[in-house]
Amino acid sequence: MLAQEFEKAGLSTVTVTMMPYWAEKMGTPRTLAVEVPFGHAFGTPGDRDMQMSVVRAALALLEEAREPGATSEVEIEWPQPSDEARKDWQPSEPSPIIKMMREQAQARADAARSQEQ
Amino acid sequence: MPVDSFKYLPRSIAAYYQTLVVQKADPIPWTAFSKPLNECRVAAVTTAGIYNKDSDPPFDAEREKREPMWGDPTYRRIPRDVRRDQIGASHLHLNNRDMLADVNTVLPLQRLAEFESGGVIGSLAQTNYSFMGFQPNTTEWRERYGPEVAGLLKDEAVDAVLLAPA
């Protein structure tokens, strides 16, 4: 959505995202999809080659895209097993909204339990 | 093989995302890329919630803790030569370890600087930008801060933006 605002203002944008699902749903001018955990759009810390390959692919899409909604992908190999990576990108403390949703779910479960009794 | 948007999402969050209804932009905004890349000024923008500790406060995580359905919609300037020890991170939904170890994981400033010295891009913008991506309500991004940063980028003669949601 920031991409939409920048593009409306006369800037050409390329969005590098791990959620092309979302970019497509919103209507994004140019989308480079990369299969990485959240918080790591350009790769792992210190991995210059991985970071360069993502940036290179993004610049290529900027040059080559001919119409709005253009997409491409860059293949990278994530060094962690998926299960580990799925946990590792998450914060050590649950975010406020996750905390709130869990508390609400717990309250509903408690209410249901006390109704049964 | 197509990129799996849900590969690294816990199942409950993936399920939640798939219920969200979004209005697709029609037409999709478009500014044709008309200059040769090696004459272009490129800026980078992230939503990873990073900031320059020497000049700016963090994003307002304390308010988000009090109001879990609110996310700080403001932005921070990140100079192209920011040092690792200057970077702070205030995103409550991400493990900030790796972006603090290497800002290029979310905002590839040194990588773009290398493309600049290699003559691939004309230049990297002096000022790049950081937003904080947890935005249940995107009105302020659309109506105020998005256009404001677009104006600032244009003031620095930026031609193209590499944007990376975190």
Whether residue B116 has pLDDT greater than 80: yes
**pLDDT value for A108:** 93
Kindly state whether residue B3 falls inside one of the protein's structural domains.
Answer: no
Cα A61 from Cα A68, distance rounded (Å): 12
Q: What is the pLDDT of residues B37-79, one digit of tens each?
A: 999 999 999 999 999 999 999 999 999 999 999 999 999 999 9
Kindly state whether residue B21 falls inside one of the protein's structural domains.
Answer: no
Q: Is B152 on the interface with A (CB under 8 A)?
A: no
Task: Average the pLDDT over A55-75 and give the result.
Answer: 97
Burial of B119 (0-12, 13-18, 19+ CB in 10 A): exposed
Query: Which residues of chain B are within 8 Å of residue A46 when distances are taken between CB atoms?
Result: 101-102
Query: Nearest CB to B3: which of A3, A4, A20?
Result: A20
From the list A1, A28, A21, A42, the residue with the least C-alpha distance to B44 is A42
Q: Is B102 on the interface with A (CB under 8 A)?
A: yes
> How many domains does the structure of chain B reveal?
1
Return the domain boundaries, chain A.
Answer: 2-79, 91-117
* ipTM reported for the complex, 2 dp: 0.95
In B22-56, which positions are buried (b, 16+ CB within 10 angstroms) versus exposed (e)?
eeebeebbbbebeeebeebbbbbbbbbbbbbeeeb
Task: Average the pLDDT over B127-153 and give the result.
Answer: 96
What is the β-pairing status of strands B75-79 and A30-34? Answer: unpaired
Task: Average the pLDDT over B124-144 and give the result.
Answer: 96
Give the chain B residue whose CA is nearest to the CA of A33.
Answer: B3
Q: What is the pLDDT of residues A6-46, one digit of tens each?
A: 999 999 999 999 999 999 999 999 999 999 999 999 999 99
**Do A76 and A36 contact (CB within 8 A), yes or no?**
yes
Residue A94, number of CB atoms within 10 A of its CB: 14
Query: Which residues of chain A are within 8 Å of residue B46 when distances are taken between CB atoms?
Result: 41
Where on the phi/psi map is residue B110: left (φ > 0), alpha (ψ -120 to 50), or beta?
alpha
Kindly state whether residue B153 falls inside one of the protein's structural domains.
Answer: yes
Kindly state whether residue B2 falls inside one of the protein's structural domains.
Answer: no
Domain extent at residue B143: 29-164
Whether residue B129 has pLDDT greater than 80: yes
Query: Nearest CB to B150: which of A9, A15, A65?
Result: A9
Q: Is A22 on the interface with B (CB under 8 A)?
A: yes
**pLDDT value for A74:** 96
Give the chain B residue whose CA is nearest to the CA of A34.
Answer: B3
**pLDDT value for A117:** 75
**pLDDT value for B149:** 98
Tokens of A105: 């779910």
Query: Nearest CB to B37: which of A54, A59, A95?
Result: A59
Q: Is A105 on the interface with B (CB under 8 A)?
A: no
Res. A115 pLDDT band, cuts 50 70 90: confident
Kindly state whether residue B8 falls inside one of the protein's structural domains.
Answer: no
Task: Average the pLDDT over B76-88 and give the result.
Answer: 98
Q: Do A11 and B31 touch (CB under 8 A)?
A: yes
From the list B34, B37, B35, B33, the residue with the least C-alpha distance to B118 is B37
**Do A19 and A36 contact (CB within 8 A), yes or no?**
no
Q: Kindly list the distances between the CA atom of residue A83 and the CA atoms of A20, A43, A67, A80, B10, in Å, as whole numbers in the listed order.
A: 21, 17, 37, 8, 10
User: Percent of chain B having pLDDT more than 90?
Assistant: 88
Kindly state whether residue B4 falls inside one of the protein's structural domains.
Answer: no
Query: Which residues of chain B are within 8 Å of residue A80 when distances are taken between CB atoms?
Result: none
State phi, psi for B54 to the nearest 5 degrees: -75, -20
The pTM of this model reads 0.95
Kindly state whether residue B13 falls inside one of the protein's structural domains.
Answer: no
* Lowest mean per-residue pLDDT among B10-14, B108-112, B126-130: B10-14
Kindly state whether residue B91 falls inside one of the protein's structural domains.
Answer: yes
Q: In angstroms, what separates the C-alpha of B55 from chain A's closest C-alpha?
A: 23
